Amino acid sequence: AAGVIQSPRHLIKEKRETATLKCYPIPRHDTVYWYQQGPGQDPQFLISFYEKMQSDKGSIPDRFSAQQFSDYHSELNMSSLELGDSALYFCASSSEQGTTDTQYFGPGTRLTVL
Amino acid sequence: ELKVEQNPLFLSMQEGKNYTIYCNYSTTSDRLYWYRQDPGKSLESLFVLLSNGAVKQEGRLMASLDTKARLSTLHITAAVHDLSATYFCAVDRMEYGNKLVFGAGTILRVKS
């Protein structure tokens, strides 16, 4: 079965650079969630989209922005990167917000900021 | 605000033994999830529990939900080394946009 696809899988950036992470949800899933997981921590919700509209926002820095496109893929844009942004970034998708469908997680993008 | 507490945070156990991980949450939730994560890997969905008294089993893992006590348990039966991983519980609520709120995770090490 098709799973959530994230790219790139690994990314190394310098401080103050920008990064773009991409997420391709499971086909026919219309909701995308972004989570950040720091070393040894639990995943923290950043932002979500339902039918291409932002549906919820968590503890996402103003330096980060995201959107969901017409084909339902999503991109997380991160600017002025800081050392503390080094983390695993997960995208998860589900079908139809508010249903009993679980969120399926992608493999994650490991971002390292030097 | 949804908050989730797990305990223990670290569990070292011998193969063949049984143990339980506990997950408490602060307010009414719609669903409770258990995920498994291997080091540096993604989150693998184990169970989704929807209603009071729900019990689900898969292999050596069994999860249960008591919504009145706001408590879920993940019971491990006759542990084997392959179960070594970090286990997270998480909850969501429709009115909070279904975002997942995770517990801190339980690091499980099964020693042979």
Flag whether residue A55 sits within 8 Å of chain B, measured between CB atoms. Answer: yes
**Nearest chain B residue to A4, by CA:** B42
Q: Over the stretch B55-104, which tens digit does the pLDDT of each residue have?
A: 999 999 999 999 999 999 999 999 999 999 999 999 988 777 788 999 99
Residue A23 and residue A107 in contact, taking contact as beta carbons nearer than 8 Å = no
Partners of A106 on chain B (C-beta within 8 Å) are 42
CB-nearest to B102 from A42, A104, A106 is A42
For residue A106, the chain B residue with the least C-alpha distance is: B42
List the structure tokens of A69: 């496109």
Residue listed under structure tokens 């995201």 = A66
Nearest CB to A107 within list B42, B100, B103? B42
Query: Cα angle at A14 between A110 and A67, to 5 degrees?
Result: 55
The pLDDT tens digits of the residues spanning A85-104 come to 999 999 999 886 556 568 89
pLDDT per residue over A24-45, tens digit each? 999 989 899 999 999 999 999 9
CA distance A77 to A63: 8
